[in-house]
Amino acid sequence: MNFSLTPSLEQFVRDRAGSGDYNNASEVVREAIRLLKRAEEQRALKVERLRKAVVTGTEDQERGACTELDSDDAVDAFFEQI
């Protein structure tokens, strides 16, 4: 697999490899891809949780199991009660 980096990214990889934290540029790139993969997985989990929360909230609203707050004063009063 071949890929191109911008000059600044290439320098960053070289600097990281030269820092002693990594043995070579390939290790730097592999670590970057692992981190990207983990971030994508975490983002997907958050999106799934958000979708479930929206479904739950919609169902609660349809059942009337919610409190409607239509002004800043109503929000303030609600939070003072809890």
The pLDDT tens digits for 14-23 are 999 999 999 9
How confident is the model over 52-63, as a mean pLDDT? 96
pLDDT at 1 over 90: no
pLDDT at 58 over 90: yes
SS3 readout for the chain: CCCCCCHHHHHHHHHHHHCCCCCCHHHHHHHHHHHHHHHHHHHHHHHHHHHHHHHHHHHHHHHCCCCCCCCHHHHHHHHHHC
Q: What integer pLDDT is reported at residue 53 of this predicted model?
A: 97
pTM: 0.71
Question: CA 67 to CA 16: how far, in whole Å?
Answer: 53
User: Among 21, 39, 28, which residue's Cα sits nearest to residue 3?
Assistant: 28
